[in-house]
Structures are given as structure tokens and as C-alpha cells.
Amino acid sequence: IHGVWPDNKSVILNNCKMKFLILYLQDKKKSELDKRWPQLRYEKLYGIEKQDLWEKEFLKHGSCSINRYKQEAYFDLAMKIKDRFDLLGTLRNQGIIPGSTYELDDIERAVKTVSIEVPSLKCIQKPLGNVELNEIGI
């Protein structure tokens, strides 16, 4: 999970309010989040305790939906979406294995087996002219 980004059907909303919000998650919720949304820049225990990534994403994106999704509901929604779409599992079920080369159309078709809309595929240029899929937006 990169994040849950609310929008108003025309633009993705960012940094809406509550700049000094304190992130409060119970230990059970932290553990559930870490399984689905690990903070890869840190050792596991430090990431769970400090919650830097989760706090950043909530302040940037979750604050825009705070009237509808309080903190716990925002993170519950992120986990529910992750579980529903299981993109790595979906890609594998469609014969697309990480580390191999595929056409973007094949990846789009695979993701559309679990989503309604065409996914937003973001790629990055790697050395030697290789292109790598970096993000799938649903």
C-alpha cells in the first residue's frame, strides 16, 4: 500500500487540514497495518512504534477525508482495499510474475479482473533503458 487517496472526482486531494494531528493507533491495529503496509525504510519494531510512514500518509491524504473516515476508519479502509484487490496475487493468477517482462496492456487486463476501472500504471526508467512498473493505482 502506498496510501488511500481521496478525491473529489476531478482532483486528488492533498494536505487538507490538521497539520499537527497526533496519530494514535492501538497495538493490534499497528500489527495489522504492518502486515499489509510495512514501513520498509525502518526496522520493523521502530517502524511500528514511530509510525512515520502511516502518519505522513494520513496527514497528506487521510486528513482530506477526516469528516467521513476518522483515523482508525481510514486505516481500516486501506487494509480492506488491500485485502480486496491483492494485486500481487491477482497478477500471479494471471501469469504475471515479478521480475519478468510484460506488456502494459497485459498488466492492465490482469488488474481489471478485480477492478472496474482501468488501473493507473506508473513506471520508472531504470539503467540501460529498462522500464520498471513502480505503482498501480486503483
Q: Which residues have a catalytic role annotated?
A: 2, 57, 61
What is the CB neighbour count within 10 angstroms for residue 111? Answer: 23
Output DSSP code: residue 49. Answer: H
Q: What is the DSSP string of 70-108?
A: -HHHHHHHHHHHHHHH-HHHHHHHTT--TTS---HHHHH
Output DSSP code: residue 119. Answer: P
Q: How far apart are the first and last CA of the chain?
A: 11
C-beta separation of 88 from 36 below 8 A: no
